[in-house]
Structure 1
Amino acid sequence: MGKPVKGEFLKSDFYTVNDTKVGKAIIKNAFSTQSNEVHAQMLRPIQKFYNMGNVLSLEKSVDDTIAAFFKRLNELFVDDSNAGTIPALDHWLGKNPITPIGPPTFDKAAIWCAQQSIARQQGMDEKSTDRKDMLDSFIEVKKTNPELMDDNAIVGSLLLNVLAGADTSAIVLRSIIYFTIKNHRVHQKLIRELDSANLSVPVAYKEVSKLPYLEAVIREASRVHAGVGLLLERIVPASGLTLSDGTFLPPGTIVGINPWVTNQNKKVYGEDSSSFVPERWLRYNDLETEAEYQSRLSMMRQTDLSFGAGNRICLGKNISTLSIYKLVASLFLTYNICLVDPEKEWQLQNSWFVRQTVREQLGGHILGAV
């Protein structure tokens, strides 16, 4: 084993590409800032809005979005003369009001976020409900604690939700649906669990979050296809870093962990770690005790870097979790989905985010409402 490491491993310059320029101002956000101290300062006024208790207050808005999504799917691909039309489901799962899934245009998104913030504060936006949303919360902090939140900070916080959150959630949703419908056994097992739970659509998070096989499918798809496929770069601190084989890395060396590699660690996930097997997240009743299962489960969760780890763990993890559980369960309860050509494999493009690139292979065939 290497010697204990002293000092902070700060983010590298790689992350500065996520800074945004509005006019002459360079706006950093909680993701792009390299300083852990600044990161903590940025999170202090907004972190509470991302805990699951507060995120659940947004559930009705998620329900409305799912209902609007299904209404559009029915109009275009299910109802009347459109029945049997093949949707590019991967494209629909990647829809975003600012930019489609893919390398985002930060300036365009930043301007849009700034416009929304200004319009909301002036009472001139087109918000269609009195329900409080994230922007309302950010503006409230600005009013009560202006030293903690200014207009640039509001824009930076909105950007995290609009860009980073949309990309990663779309990648995970595609993975869940692709791996599930490509594996008939998994697909049928998931449908049986959902049907037996007597759920109504859109499903309530408190109900679907208790379904063990749904959780296993979501965790496994997120693990097998990690959203990030390059290093989470950090800078070796002044103390240097001694690796387990005795190699010494001097201060300033760029090091990192690749979630795609870590998530397929055979010592943790087994020799079939590259395969999609949701059952690995469940207890092997005849092969392990409850204590052994809990120990194995704990190790898998600790190794899984789908949302990162430590003080830089994904801020929007709970928003993503809520949305994914609800949408996946609602989709499979409402539609019978299959691949256009089950024999084809999708193609991947790794540009830090590992995006699925071949639409005609992933396009789901919605056979009709269940």
Structure 2
Amino acid sequence: MALGGLLEATQTQYLPLVFTSCFLVWYFHLLIHSLSSPLRSVSGPPLARFSRVWYFRQVWTGRFPWTNIELHRKHEGPVVRIAPNEYSVDDPSAVKTLYGHGTAFTKGPWYDGSTNLKDEKSNLFANRDIKTHAAERRKVASLYSMSTLVKMEDAVNDCIVRLEQRMRDLARSGKPINLQWWMQCYAFDVIGSITVSKRFGFLDSGKDPMDLVSGLHDFLTHAARIGVYPDLHPILFKLGKLAGKFQSAGTNGIIRAFIFTRKQIGEYKAMNKFLKSKADDEEAFLPRLLRLHHEKPESVTEEDVMRTCAINVVAGSDTTSISLTGVMWALLRNPKAMAKLRAEVDDKYSSGEIGDPISFGDAQKMPYLQAVIKEGLRLHPAGGLPLSRIVPKGGATIAGHFFPEGNIVGINAWVAHRNADVFGHDADEFRPERWLVNGADTQRMDRYWLTFGHGSRTCLGKNIALMEISKLIPQLIRKFDIELADPQMKLETENVWFVKQTNVIVEIKERALSPNFSGS
């Protein structure tokens, strides 16, 4: 007993010394690495030189896009440090290097936070392997082509008509409304309709019938935060219940999307609906995917069908509603631009050049509308974190700095889109006219417009989002007078990978249109 007590006392006495020694070894390792690194001159928050805690805290608070912009302006350079081996880049010449076709830069480990470790394959968003991503993308790329999407336009029209009815009801009530919520209702029902031929039902009641919104928000929150410490993702996944809300809530939204999708797959398969002629009016993703599965079951598995439909719902609902709200917010804060767009819409409608609802093709021919959309998406891109990439073997020179292999670099669209050298001295301002000047300036801006990513990783759903936005904005502008409930309101957002607006409260009235001008 005496010997045991002595050993216990000795262990207790030296335990702090052991921990202190380990900490000092770790600290001096980081210090030596930092001082000897060719990137030691790169500025950034002091803590970010030694720990990922600073980056994690910024992501946790939901303010990272604004912090990222301020970092580059404070340190006045194209490269700033956000973690010990991770850097934010603001340089147009880096776009092709990091994201161009044929690049050797692979996605960074942040994307691991969006993976379901039970799946044998990663979804297209989280797949970090260049070759397997390309192979998986080729299987479904044709489904996202413009020629395919225009066949789904009737489904979008149906949702527009339903939203207009809800807007009329809300206008008659005289109560302020949360515009972002109604944009989300529209986006969810559209993506449900064009993906599985069935709306989720948001526009019927103005409510979330399956609790999808909160579930997906929890998933995105989890993915954004755990992506900063990706090594924790498999640990939390295995801990399951012990991880509590942090993990389980992070998967509930995906689970609900999968359950809904699986039910629709079952209905289609039971009735062999997917084997109908392609000339039928059922042109949603699901029947098309099931036909591919039926024709090439080894290449396109049922899990591929499930995964593609589910990722449509996850990636195509929040992003589109955020983009729509971003464009509308910009117009509401800029009455002159609103009036100019309304004049274009009214003129096109009165001359019979556009219908009701407007077709996507006609909307694309309206220069000011497209300039408004592009400018709105420039100032408020949906994604709010750097698109991280790993420097390949041999290292690379980016923005005048040599990056050894293994370092992580990325461009944040929020930072890029406010680059004054590219977008002008008024880059912080909403000015659609900047996109109406042909020539080198527009080409330069186009190359640094990263709302939907770039290169082989460009968002597959880009055309879906642009169709939804291009068709809805003119309908709202033409048929309703919409104003901010508080003209002095400052935009509030929460960044959980996607930068969602939280306070766009508006007052809405039906616009007085002459009988031969209403289109109703």
Q: TM-score, normalised by structure 2?
A: 0.63
Partner of 1:11: 107
CA contact (8 A) 1:9 1:236 kept: yes
Secondary structure, counterpart of 1:46 in structure 2: helix
CA contact (8 A) 1:191 1:332 kept: yes
Match of 1:256 among 410, 418, 435: 410
Partner of 2:507: 365
Superimposed CA distance per residue, residues 218-245 of structure 1 (whole angstroms, 9 cap, x where no aligned partner): 0000001121221101111112122343
Out of 168-177 and 110-119, give the one that drifted further.
110-119
- What is the deviation of 1:185? 0.5
- What is the deviation of 1:251? 1.6
Mapping of 1:217-232 within 5 angstroms? 217-232=372-387
1:62 and 1:261 mapped to 2: Cα distance? 32
Mapping of 1:81-96 within 5 angstroms? 82=173, 84-95=174-185, 96=188
Match of 1:120 among 268, 277, 293: 268
- What runs of 5+ residues in structure 1 fail to find an aligned partner? 284-292
The aligned amino acid for 2:446 is: R
CA contact (8 A) 1:27 1:152 kept: no
The aligned amino acid for 2:134 is: A
- What runs of 5+ residues in structure 2 fail to find an aligned partner? 1-92, 189-199, 201-209, 220-252, 274-279, 513-520
The aligned amino acid for 1:144 is: E
- What is the deviation of 1:108? 2.2
Mapping of 1:20-59 within 5 angstroms? 20=116, 24-59=118-153
Out of 11-20 and 335-344, give the one that drifted further.
11-20
1:175 and 1:115 mapped to 2: Cα distance? 33
CA separation of 1:244 and 1:325: change in aligned 2, threshold 3 A:
closer
2:256 and 2:340 mapped to 1: Cα distance? 43
Partner of 1:169: 320
- What is the deviation of 1:124? 9.2
Partner of 2:197: none
Mapping of 1:304-319 within 5 angstroms? 304-319=449-464
Partner of 2:44: none
Q: TM-score, normalised by structure 1?
A: 0.88
CA contact (8 A) 2:396 2:403 kept: yes
The aligned amino acid for 1:329 is: P
Moved over 4 A (4+): 4-7
1:332 and 1:136 mapped to 2: Cα distance? 34
CA contact (8 A) 1:7 1:239 kept: no
Q: CA RMSD, aligned part only?
A: 2.2
The aligned amino acid for 1:363 is: I
The aligned amino acid for 2:424 is: G
1:244 and 1:71 mapped to 2: Cα distance? 51
Partner of 1:344: 489
Match of 1:78 among 142, 146, 171: 171
CA contact (8 A) 2:180 2:502 kept: no
Q: Does 1:148 align with 2:293?
A: no
- What is the deviation of 1:121? 1.7
User: Number of residues paired by the alignment?
Assistant: 347
Partner of 1:158: 309
Superimposed CA distance per residue, residues 161-214 of structure 1 (whole angstroms, 9 cap, x where no aligned partner): 101111111111001111102111011001000000013321111111111110
- What is the deviation of 1:46? 1.1
Among all aligned residue pairs of Structure 1 and Structure 2, give the percentage whose two residues are the same amino acid: 31
Q: Which has the larger radius of gyration?
A: 2
CA separation of 1:348 and 1:197: change in aligned 2, threshold 3 A:
same
- What is the deviation of 1:18? 2.1
